Amino acid sequence: MNKLRNRELLHGGDYNPEQWLDRPDILEEDIRLMKKAGVNVVTLGVFSWSILEPKEGVYQFAWLEEIMDNLYQNGIHTILATPSGAKPVWLDEKYPEALRVDEWGRRRHHGVRHNHCITSPAFRKKIGEMDRLLAKRFKDHPGLLLWHISNELGGACYCPLCQKRFQEYLEQTYGTIEHLNKAWWTVFWSHQYQRFDQVEPPFANGEGSIMGLNLAWKRFTTWNMADYLRWEKDILKEITPGIPVTTNFMKLYPGLDYRVLAKELDVISWDSYPRYHNDYESLYDTCIENAFDHAVMRSMKKDRPFLLMESVPGAVNWHDYNKVKRPGMHKLAAIQAAALGSDSVQYFQWRKSRGSFEQYHGAVVDHLGREDTRIFQETAETGRVLAALKDVAGSVVKAKAAVVFDWDNRWAIQDMKGLSQKKKEYEKTCMNFYKLFLELGVETDVISREDSFSTYDVVAAPMLYLLGEDTARKLKEYVAGGGQLLCTYLTGYVDKDTLCYLGGFPGDGLKELFGLYSEEMDTFYPSDKNQVRFLDGSLGEVRDFAEILKLSGAEPVGVYIHDFYAGTAAVTRSQYEKGSAWYVGARLDEGTMKRLLRELCQEAGITIREIPGNGEYHVRENGEARFHFLLNYGEETIKFQDVRGMELLTGEVAEGELLVKPMEAAVVLEKKQLAKGEDR
């Protein structure tokens, strides 16, 4: 861990020299170009299994050692991957059980990636042997910085081995079949199980009507993946206890609860591929969605930086429209990553492969092979920027607000049979709350309902449909202790197994906290509309959903003004001991929500700092200093107010205002002893 912390910011990416072992000229050129580009780290060994072990039990590590040696001698460290991301053909041929089975029960053929049964003992044995040998060979290599376990873990397997493991998981979780039947309400449609070994995964042509089963299967998939991850990790840790481990996450990948996997990791890392310059949203919106993703990643380990393990110079090859990043975008995205808490900017990939699936995925070095390309030059410029921000390394982000965003709720809301399937938009709703906080200048974490709320002044938990065993208690304690809490329509409908609460939503005692219950949920057709009038006369627009509320203590803050529930409360506030619990019964427009959040923040004593349009603002800090990041995604210069300190990219000193040009960023160093306003 030591090596990784408190170094300079990392710059580099996935490097696949095994594709060029017969081209020493290219390998040599790679080193030359890496130095030109300011690369100080590469990731090796992802997908190298068939080179490392061309036949079962025949290992070839010398080429890898030579590459690592050479890199290290040139000042470049190595993140070393275990090669379980894709299997050699001999493995599938000898151990067909290692091939994944899909939701129709069909065993896949050899090929592509994400095609292994992680339960398979044969697969685990083979990758275990590999990992042990890799760790032994390189445990003392001075260039080894970090273990990168497998690659972009994902997917699920429905094979008999996984099915059995699922049943074991269920028995561990529920104890008795009666308990499971009760929790899943299997009495509906006569679906009661008699024994755990009767429970099958939710096959596409099998049982798909039990919400509890569907959710348990998702949780099992995560549980089993965490078990697998731990299993690879334990082998590595036994031999190299001092080398931290990571695996690279994929944005908000819906198939795995990353917060569970995160517990197995020393460092969070992820792969970021926004659709920049698209035709359906502003560049600002694209970048703020990316900020949200960064914040999700950062908030999994708030005490340390994360890594941006993959991003692309140029364009990827798998978007609908693979448009190249405009000049400056690359650098701006790199600074944004740093602003949100990353200690690295890394790429997939260093050099484009000549053939196969990703031959057109962007890279620092193109098939063209030249260093005078725009992409190479912008990458090198990014290298220089990261060098200038060296001191940022190791610093963290401290947030005053939090948005609750949950895999359990993603799964349960998605699978909920009701409302309108197309309009649920849980992820987007959470992201919008995050965005509004940022626009108010309030640094915000994105956390789980299982995290502690106590460190935050404001917590927004939109669409908190599913409550865990102590979620309601924690929310009450949080407000009782003085917190400002905001929840919305669709709060507290079901327990952790998706059983509906009886006696009124929000359930599990939250009716008391909010001083109301929801009698009906009105679902809108897209052309349906309603409005809310607030106490100050302002109006909010309602779309998609409107709960019809009955108050029992809450004070109405806004009321519906149309339809048969006109005049009833749409937005309420309830004083609960030292804090306040706000309830927003309808999906409201952004402007209205921003006014509400501003009010909450002010109640919570947070200083609002209105960020100009198209601008983004973050602070990282360590014991000695604060680093203020100011970014501009617009087409006009932004004037940021109240900025003081040295701008690290230009060396200029800001004494109040700072102008940031379009597609540019500034990073201002504020020494802590000089800090005046602690509320920032």
Per DSSP, the three-state class of 479 is helix
CB of 676 to a copy of itself, least distance (A): 41
Would you say 206 or 468 has its CB closer to a copy of itself? Answer: 206
Tell me phi and psi for residue 447, to 5 degrees. Answer: -125, 175
Closer by beta carbon to a copy of itself, 65 or else 519: 519
Least distance from a copy of itself to the Cβ atom of residue 663, Å: 11
CA 341/CA 85 separation, integer angstroms: 27
Q: What is the DSSP string of 589-657?
A: -HHHHHHHHHHHHHHTTPPP-PPPTTEEEEEEE-SSEEEEEEEE-SSS-EEEEEEEEEETTT--EEEEE
Quote the CA–CA distance of 515 and 501 in Å, as a whole number. Answer: 16
**Residue with structure tokens 């949780």?**
219
Name the residue nearer to a copy of itself (CB basis): 392 or 416. 416
Nearest distance from C-beta of residue 137 to a copy of itself, angstroms: 18
d(CA 336, CA 629): 8
Which tokens sit at 524?
A: 């809108």
Q: How far is the CB of 583 from a copy of itself (least distance, A)?
A: 16
* Minimum distance of a copy of itself from residue 475's CB (angstroms): 20
Torsion of CA 461, 462, 464, 469, to 10 degrees: 0
Q: Please give the DSSP secondary-structure letter assigned to residue 401.
A: E
Closest among 503, 548, 493, 488 to 522, alpha carbons compared: 548
For helices 121-138 and 211-239, give the axis angle rounded to 10 degrees: 30
Minimum distance between the CB of residue 285 and a copy of itself, rounded to whole angstroms? Answer: 15
177 vs 389, beta carbon nearer a copy of itself: 177
**Helix residue spans in 89-210 (DSSP H):** 89-94, 121-138, 160-174, 177-184
Q: Judged by CB, which is closer to a copy of itself: 321, or 673? A: 321
CB proximity list for 443: less than 8 A, separation 6 or greater: 397, 398, 399, 400, 401, 437, 618, 619
Residue 425: its H or E element: none
At residue 285, φ and ψ (nearest 5 deg) are -65, -40
CB of 680 to a copy of itself, least distance (A): 36
Smallest distance from the beta carbon of 26 to a copy of itself, in angstroms?
Answer: 9
Q: Which of 677, 676, 626, 636 is nearest to 659 (CA)?
A: 636
Write out the E strands in 432-560. Answer: 444-447, 458-461, 484-488, 516-523, 530-534, 539-551, 555-560
Judged by CB, which is closer to a copy of itself: 70, or 353? 353
User: C-beta of 74: minimal distance to a copy of itself in Å?
Assistant: 23
Q: How far is the CB of 126 from a copy of itself (least distance, A)?
A: 13
Residue 220 Cβ, how far from a copy of itself at the closest point, in Å?
Answer: 17
- Number of Cβ within a 10 Å radius of residue 204: 12
Closer residue to a copy of itself, CB minimum distance, 148 or 294: 148
Find the shortest distance in angstroms from Cβ 622 to a copy of itself. 37
Report helix, strand or coil for 332.
helix
Asked if 219 and 122 count as a contact pair (C-beta separation under 8 A), the reply is: no
DSSP string of 515-547?
TEEEEEEEEPPTT--EEEEETTS-EEEEEEEEE
Q: Please identify, using beta-carbon distances, which residue of 355 and 623 lies nearer to a copy of itself.
A: 355
Q: Which two tokens stand for residue 313?
A: 């110079």
Q: Which is nearer to a copy of itself, 417 or 676 (CB)?
A: 417
Q: Are 457 and 427 in contact (CB under 8 A)?
A: no
Catalytic annotation, residues: 152, 310
Burial of 533 (0-12, 13-18, 19+ CB in 10 A): middle
In the complex with a copy of itself, the residue whose CB is nearer, 272 or 518, is 518
The full length of the chain comes to: 680
Identity at 355, one-letter amino acid code: G
Q: What are phi and psi of 174, to 5 degrees?
A: -105, -15
Do residues 4 and 339 lie in contact, with contact meaning Cβ atoms separated by under 8 Å?
A: no
At 261, which amino acid appears? L
Decide if 670 contacts 644 (C-beta within 8 A).
yes
Q: Which lies closer to a copy of itself via its Cβ, residue 554 or residue 611?
A: 554
Comparing CB distances to a copy of itself, the nearer of 121 and 526 is: 526
For residue 581, which phi and psi values (nearest 5 degrees)? Answer: -115, 115
